[in-house]
Amino acid sequence: MSRFIVWLRRLVHALWFRVSLFAALAIVGVLLAHLFSFLVPDWAAKLIEAQSVLPVLEILASSMLAVSTFSLGIMVQSHRAAAQTATPRVLNLMIQDGLTQNVLGIFIGAFVYSLTALILFQAGFDGGAPMVLAVTLVVTGAVVLALVRWIAHLTTLGTMRDALDRAEARAHHALRLHRRRPALGAAPMTDETRIADRVRTVTAKTSGFLQVIDVKALAECATGPIWVLRRPGQQVLRGAPLLQIAGEADPEALRRCFVIGDARTFEQDPVFGLTVLSEIAARALSPAVNDPGTAIEVVSRLERLLWDWSLPETDLDIDAGTQRGHDAVPIYRQRRIKVDHPRVFVQPWTASEMVEAAFASIARDGAAMIEVAGQLLDALDALSQSPDPALAKAACALGPRVRAHAEAALRLDDDIARLPKGPPAPEGARSATDASVEGAEDGGESEGEMLDTARTTTEDPGAKTPGVEKE
């Protein structure tokens, strides 16, 4: 994804862009109506004069000004309500709502159109009254349709369900792209990836969150392999290493392949959508809100997202064709990870990091609520049966910690007994109850013995602090 495409997409999704576009179209419509006034027949020009169109334009101008102001107020209140009840991170998703932008654009465009037409009529350009009336009827129809859609949209705008739907949709889109290109089209950089001994390190010129990496431009800027040290969603500090290259390249050209901003975005960051949903659940579990139902719904949505992400996508195997028989069905083969630029290496987000971002905070904040803890253990149990081995392993690894949080927070033994079994624990993992029982049976160390051990460990007179060499 190039910087120009990123800039263009953000421009299109900006609220002011569509409003300005509709306003410009309104002015163009008025001017064209006057320019093509010579096409109007003489009988129509005598029948429809400027005085018959002016009242309609005045009504349209005054009403659209009030409707636009009222709609903007409603939009701002809805955005603030969503930021307070859900999380401030959903505010950008609501601002990018296409229906809201189209409706506000139509309202303000109608106001600009009627105001411009009135000014031209008052200036003496009244020859195109029939054309202006025809355009006015079209604008009025668009306003009525926009009002109907706006009324229906206001019933859900700014609600918790609206925020959850938007966050889930963006997370699903990011996860789907990550499934096909986990390294953004580059070669995945893992622990087995070897970096050349002699490399050039390119540092960042500004601090912020890494939002977008243009992998294609990186491959075109250098003749040798490139190892990107940061990934979208991580913070970059000025002067810190950003990438390493084994070859000749212009450092400034390489830096232009990265988009660094003040906040995380959903464009190339699949974990951010999971984090936003987890934040909504964490706020719902706060003592001020105390809404475990929302947390349970978030857990269900996160479970659905990760499960769909883990399913292997398939393509039709053209070479194999279809199975012969009465009920012929297509034969599919699993899609492979696409590596468009093998000379560029980017570290992808792992299944373990996704599971951690999705469920870790919910396990901590909802440990004292058996409904939330039970739903979370059931979700991890389902994900442990995923066809993706990495996701199944991550779910099994988090299960004992979720259960330990619940066992430590629940006060009644009956509630602990009601907890679901959860995913199968990895080898060597123990629950908090097993650890406490084992410690009680063995007697454990006395407090004095533990203090002596800690003192012996920390007060080693021979220990030295290693120095750090600076270039």
SS (H, E, C) 245-295: ECCCCCHHHHHCCEEEECCCCCCCCHHHHHHHHHHHHHHHCCCCCCCHHHH
Nearest residue to 130 (alpha-carbon basis) of 206, 48, 215, 59 = 48
Strand, coil or helix: 188: strand
Q: 258-261 and 208-213 as β-strands: parallel, antiparallel, unpaired? A: antiparallel
pLDDT at position 441 is: 42
Beta bridge partners of 134: none
Q: Which two tokens stand for residue 146?
A: 């926009």
pLDDT at position 429 is: 53
Nearest residue to 171 (alpha-carbon basis) of 96, 84, 265 = 265
Residues with pLDDT less than 50, the chain: 315-335, 431-471
pLDDT at position 334 is: 45
Q: What backbone torsions phi and psi does residue 349 show, to the nearest 5 degrees?
A: -70, 135
SS (H, E, C) 320-344: CCECCCCCCCECEEECCCCCCEEEE
CA gap 265, 283 in Å, rounded:
20
Number of C-beta neighbours around residue 391 at 10 A: 22
Which string of b and e fits 305-322 if b means at least 16 CB within 10 Å? Answer: bbbebbeeeeeeeeeeee
Q: Which two tokens stand for residue 71?
A: 């709609």
Residue 355 CA to its chain's centroid (Å) = 16
Cβ atoms 94, 82 nearer than 8 A: yes
pLDDT at position 222 is: 82
Residue 234 CA to its chain's centroid (Å) = 14
Q: What is the DSSP annotation of 381-438? A: HHHTT-SSHHHHHHHHHHHHHHHHHHHHH---HHHHHHS---SPPPTT---HHHHHHH
Locate the domains of the chain by residue range.
3-158, 182-261, 270-314+348-435
Nearest residue to 436 (alpha-carbon basis) of 461, 403, 465 = 403
Q: What is the DSSP annotation of 92-136? A: HHHHT-HHHHHHHHHHHHHHHHHHHHHHHHHTT--TTHHHHHHHH
Cβ atoms 437, 443 nearer than 8 A: no
Q: Which residue has the tokens 């006034």?
A: 37
pLDDT at position 36 is: 74
pLDDT at position 56 is: 85
Cβ atoms 140, 60 nearer than 8 A: yes
Q: What is the pLDDT of residues 242-264, one digit of tens each?
A: 999 987 888 899 999 999 999 99
pLDDT at position 444 is: 41
What fold characterizes domain 182-261?
A: Aldehyde Oxidoreductase; domain 3 (3.90.1170)
Whether the pTM exceeds 0.85: the reply is no
pLDDT at position 467 is: 36
CA gap 262, 258 in Å, rounded:
13
pLDDT at position 47 is: 67
Q: What backbone torsions phi and psi does residue 290 show, to the nearest 5 degrees?
A: 55, 60
